[in-house]
């Protein structure tokens, strides 16, 4: 009597199902009423489509910034994985508050730009934890602006875009202290005509990557000194990473 081929040797079907869990970075409506979402997961970024999502049972879970568990189904050759089931694992309703909403957008837009699809490298889990923590901070911390600033610099560094703070970005001189109006890094006094940054701002820029999130949060730069930091960040991202549409709306709330 012959037994069938054992299960492990059986060919995988053309289609693959997978479970993923992540935070919704963006969502697009297609004209047909489908929903395309981009998520950050511990295994990297994922884009998937929920058919009929705008009127379907997934619309609730697949909201911006929601942490969702997905069952996706991808056939080789399909451009996008199809979402079969979606369940909410966590929501931060306070991100809709006017003083917090724009920062959540900035962080999600940055994350969407910084991480590529299918890149499941060793930093995946770290990136996911950092981003999820950033959203939690923006939702609940009394100073969401500071959370956004710290976490933006942290995300940039993790994605391989650390700012140079030890040498002038133009001439290479040591100990630069002035903002670079074009590249967003630091310039020496000879290369820049702008006023030097405040000591606490300089300390922040030089330490943000190396220090823990907690340490950074505990030593905020005074609110009135943050404008040059935001400006530097915007320039740096614009030059190194790409266009971020949230900038003009950051201080609208």
Binding site for a second copy (CB under 8 A): 52, 55-57
If we measure between CA atoms, which residue out of 205, 210, 200 comes closest to residue 187?
A: 205
**142 in contact with another protein (CB under 8 A):** no
Q: Kindly state whether residue 190 participates in binding another protein, applying the rule CB under 8 A.
A: no
* CA 92 vs CA 23, 65, 67, 79, 246: distances in Å: 11, 7, 9, 30, 19
Tell me the DSSP string of 88-151: EEE--GGGGSTTTHHHHHHHHHHHHHHS-BT---TTHHHHHHHHHHHHHHHHH-S-HHHHHHHH
- Are 103 and 76 within 8 A, CB to CB? no
Q: How far is the CB of 102 from another protein (least distance, A)?
A: 5
Minimal distance, residue 144 CB to another protein, in Å: 13
- The number of beta carbons lying within 10 Å of the beta carbon of residue 149 is 22
Interface stretch with another protein, choices 82-90, 150-158, 200-208, 218-226 (CB under 8 A)? 82-90
- Nearest distance, CB of residue 58 and a second copy, angstroms: 10
CB atoms within 10 A of CB 205: 24
Is 111 or 130 the residue whose CB approaches another protein more closely?
Answer: 111
- State in angstroms the smallest separation of the CB of 78 from another protein: 12
- What is the C-alpha separation between 229 and 213, in angstroms, rounded? 17
3-state secondary structure of 4: coil
Q: How far is CA 162 from CA 118, 123, 177, 233, in A?
A: 22, 15, 17, 11
Among 4, 118, 160, 222, the residue binding another protein under the rule CB under 8 A is: 4
Asked if 7 touches another protein (CB under 8 A), the answer is yes
Nearer to a second copy by Cβ, of 56 and 124: the residue is 56
Residues 32-71 binding another protein (CB under 8 A) are 32-33, 54-55, 57-66, 71
Does position 102 interact with another protein (CB under 8 A)? The reply is yes
- Is residue 196 within the footprint of another protein (CB under 8 A)? no
Which stretches of the chain bind another protein, using CB under 8 A? 1-7, 9-12, 14, 26, 29, 31-33, 54-55, 57-66, 71, 84-88, 91, 93, 95-98, 101-102, 105-106, 108-109, 112, 245-246, 248-250, 252-253
């Amino acid at each position: 009597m012959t037994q069938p081929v054992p299960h492990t040797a059986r060919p995988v079907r053309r289609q693959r199902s997978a479970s993923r869990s992540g935070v919704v970075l963006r969502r697009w409506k297609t004209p047909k009423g489908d929903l395309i979402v981009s998520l950050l997961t511990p295994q990297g970024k994922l884009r998937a489509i929920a058919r009929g999502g705008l009127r379907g049972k997934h619309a609730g879970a697949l909201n911006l910034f929601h942490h969702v568990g997905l069952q996706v189904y991808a056939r080789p050759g399909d451009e996008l994985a199809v979402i079969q089931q979606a369940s909410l694992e966590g929501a931060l309703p306070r991100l809709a508050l006017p003083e917090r909403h724009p920062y959540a957008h900035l962080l999600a837009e940055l994350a969407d730009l910084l991480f590529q699809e299918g890149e499941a490298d060793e930093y995946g889990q770290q990136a996911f934890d950092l981003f999820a923590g950033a959203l939690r901070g923006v939702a609940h911390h009394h100073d969401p602006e500071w959370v956004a600033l710290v976490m933006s610099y942290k995300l940039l560094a993790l994605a391989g875009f650390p700012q140079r703070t030890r040498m002038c970005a133009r001439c290479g001189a040591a100990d630069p202290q002035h903002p670079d109006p074009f590249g967003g890094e630091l310039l020496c006094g000879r290369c820049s005509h702008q006023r030097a940054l405040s000591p606490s701002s300089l300390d922040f820029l030089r330490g943000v990557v190396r220090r823990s999130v907690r340490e950074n949060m505990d030593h905020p730069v005074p609110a009135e000194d943050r404008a040059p930091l935001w400006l530097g960040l915007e320039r740096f991202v614009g030059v190194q990473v790409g266009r971020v549409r949230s900038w003009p709306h950051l201080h609208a709330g």
